[in-house]
Amino acid sequence: MSEKRIFSGIKPTGDLTLGSYIGAIKNWVELQNEYLCLYCIVDMHAITIRNDPETLRRRSLEQLAQYVASGLDPERNIIYIQSHVPQHAELSWILGCYSMLGELNRMTQYKDKVSKGEENLNAGIYTYPVLMAADILLYQSDLVPVGEDQKQHVELCRDIAIRFNHVYGETFKVPEPFVPKVGARIKSLTDPESKMSKSDDDPQGSIFIMDSPDQILKKVKRAVTDMENRVTFDTEKQPGISNLMTIYSSATGKDFDVITEEFEGKGYGAFKNAVAEAVIELLRPIREKSEEILADRAYLTEIYTSGAKRAAELAEPTLKLVVEKLGFVPRG
């Protein structure tokens, strides 16, 4: 196996959507053969919003089951829960002292939350990208597979690494974002201008990995389209249809022109049925396998316990190097 490393994570703030599957997890599965991969359940990122404690615990374990059910091999990859490896928090504090207010002020995700006047605008929301940089840099990661919305955070992570290396000499590997060509930003089915997301107020806009075939069919049938009556990829004029084409393309591997040809003269009804069918078949094995894995609590515990142990072993040399460079007195 190559020594090149991958880090990525998802926060357990809601049920995983088709967006996070296509934008992130699907690529994680493909990359696991080529890299040493760490796939994390970033529960410390999740507490930037208020959670019911029982729900957070349940979601973290469900997300773990869904990672494995999606095809991530827990032996080959390091799958674990962020809060189990305290080195993330340690490095995050340090990197906070090498992150500039001006940089953090420019982060779109943070700016959106401020401009929407969201409740509970806490300091964690502001320093969120610093913790994310710590996640990535702790493991000397080469590649970070994420959806489009996270690219800016990975770029900030690179800037922090470059700054630190400039002051102290080569310390961190400078990582690259890996954003898929198709499916980097799956849109809401009810509002094709905005991202499909697990915390959307309108659950009809998102397809969840655990949705039943019936729920998927209903949601796709109700998806917003247009009056053009042509299955063509045009995000300006036909954002809803283009989104469904992206989903269909990711699920079947077909190119856009092949899809256009397939539905020539057939109307949106037939297209929507085909999209729903493809998504149902894509998600069915993942949902069934997740349920199986979730029922085996001992197996889940084994995965996250051994994952955290292996992650901590990889994190330790980086942290040791960093504190040495900073001038902290070594531990006795």
- Residue closer to ligand LTN, measured from CB, 80 or 268: 80
| Distance, CA of 294 to chain centre | 20
Structure tokens, 68? 């494995």
- Rounded to whole angstroms, the Cα distance separating 140 from 142 reads 7
Q: Which does 43 bind (CB under 5 to 8 A by kind): ligand ATP, ligand LTN, none?
A: none
- Residue closer to ligand LTN, measured from CB, 106 or 218: 106
Q: In angstroms, what is the minimal distance from the CB of 330 to ligand ATP?
A: 36
Active-site entry in 11, 26, 187, 198: 198
Q: In angstroms, what is the minimal distance from the CB of 133 to ligand LTN?
A: 8
Structure tokens, 163? 């700054």
* DSSP E strand stretches across 45-121: 78-81
Count of residues that bind ligand ATP according to CB under 6 A: 22
Q: Are 149 and 195 in contact (CB under 8 A)?
A: yes
- Quick one: which of 5, 88, 195, 272 contacts ligand ATP (CB under 6 A)? 195
149 binds ligand ATP (CB under 6 A): yes
- Rounded to whole angstroms, the Cα distance separating 161 from 159 reads 5
Secondary structure class of 191 (helix, strand, coil): coil
Active-site entry in 113, 187, 219, 272: 113
> Which one of the spans 50-58, 92-100, 146-154, 235-243 is the region binding ligand LTN (CB under 6 A)?
146-154
Q: Which of residues 38-67 bind ligand LTN (CB under 6 A)?
A: 42, 45
23 binds ligand ATP (CB under 6 A): yes
- Rounded to whole angstroms, the Cα distance separating 46 from 49 reads 6
Q: From its phi and psi, is residue 102 left (phi > 0), alpha (psi between -120 and 50) or beta?
A: alpha
| Distance, CA of 230 to chain centre | 32
11 binds ligand LTN (CB under 6 A): yes
Sheet order of strands, 36-41 included: 78-81, 36-41, 5-10, 143-145, 176-178
Please name which of 244, 94, 61, 251 lies closest in space to residue 164, comparing C-alpha atoms. Answer: 94
In the stretch 207-246, what mask flags binding to ligand LTN with x, by CB under 6 A? ----------------------------------------
144 binds ligand LTN (CB under 6 A): yes
26 binds ligand LTN (CB under 6 A): no
Q: Are 222 and 228 in contact (CB under 8 A)?
A: no
135 binds ligand LTN (CB under 6 A): yes
85 binds ligand LTN (CB under 6 A): no
- Quick one: which of 18, 46, 132, 312 contacts ligand LTN (CB under 6 A)? 132
| Residue 108: other Cβ atoms inside 10 A | 11
- How far from 199 is each of 12, 96, 219, 306, 325, CA to CA, in Å? 10, 27, 17, 30, 40
In the stretch 35-74, what mask flags binding to ligand ATP with x, by CB under 6 A? ----------------------------------------
Contact positions toward ligand LTN, by CB under 6 A? 7-11, 42, 45, 132, 135-136, 144, 146, 150, 153
Catalytic residues: 113, 195, 198
